[in-house]
Chains A and B, each alone.
Chain A
Amino acid sequence: GQSLEQPSEVTAVEGAIVQINCTYQTSGFYGLSWYQQHDGGAPTFLSYNGLDGLEETGRFSSFLSRSDSYGYLLLQELQMKDSASYFCAPRRGDRDDKIIFGKGTRLHILP
């Protein structure tokens, strides 16, 4: 089985920094992915942590601590277009490598 915990909603101001936390419980953990989804759109891949530590991709960074079963997504220099839902998704590395999405975090950006 799998369980994920993320805040349901986060609000931040344009230009600020926001951190979205994720704690997980899953069997056969291989790494943690992050996806973004705008209303009416499909999820898009943001970042993947296969190892502990910080991965940086432009304004977005993601962190993983396997010992704590914890990760976070850090968004810097927030823009209005960052208003979306964000999902952390553990990878189990099994044959199908399927993604089971949690409820996600709805990020609201205020001007």
Chain B
Amino acid sequence: GAVVSQHPSRVICKSGTSVKIECRSLDFQATTMFWYRQFPKQSLMLMATSNEGSKATYEQGVEKDKFLINHASLTLSTLTVTSAHPEDSSFYICSARFPKTGQDTTEQFFGPGTRLTVL
């Protein structure tokens, strides 16, 4: 299967700082990437859809000014948590999808996740 990487795998930061998380598709070009957040013992919550060359589409309730998403190339999307606070501590996971052709739908490949701890 295709490989999606995330960097860093873990990050600890002080409250009020900003943290950037990178998501890369290593062996395919992904026009669409997704960002999820997962709290302990809970399911993954979709935060936003990131399309290359256009603005991200945020799910209801997700602050777009706090979670900045940039999809500058077909292999890289970044999520920046601005002015992080302890309640932002979570597991952030990205996924990438092969480009669609026609009505075909393709599986998504998930990155290994980034564990963010805000002190």
Contact = CB atoms under 8 A, between A and B. Distances in A.
Interface of A: 30-31, 33, 37, 40-45, 48, 50, 85, 87, 91, 93, 96-104
Q: Dominant SS at the B interface?
A: strand
Contact count band on B: 20 to 34
Contacts of A96: 32, 49, 51, 57
Contacts of B109: 45
Q: Dominant SS at the A interface?
A: loop
Given A96-B57, A99-B95, A41 B112 contact: yes
A48 B107 CA distance: 8
Nearest to B113: A42
Given A42-B113, A98-B34, A103 B108 contact: no
B49 A93 contact: no
A45 B107 contact: yes
Contacts of A101: 36, 43-46
Nearest to B51: A96
Contacts of A103: 42-43
B73 to A, nearest CB: 18
Nearest to A48: B107
Nearest to B106: A97
A98 B93 contact: no
B105 interface: yes
Given A87-B44, A103-B43, 17 more contacts: A40-B113, A42-B110, A42-B111, A43-B93, A43-B95, A44-B110, A45-B108, A96-B32, A96-B49, A96-B57, A97-B32, A97-B105, A97-B106, A98-B46, A98-B49, A101-B44, A101-B45
A66 B111 CA distance: 30
Nearest to A100: B46
Contacts of A97: 32, 97, 100, 105-106, 108
Contact of A45 (B1, B46, B57): B1
B101 interface: no
Q: 5 closest A-B pairs (Cβ-Cβ)?
A: A42-B110, A101-B44, A45-B107, A96-B49, A101-B43
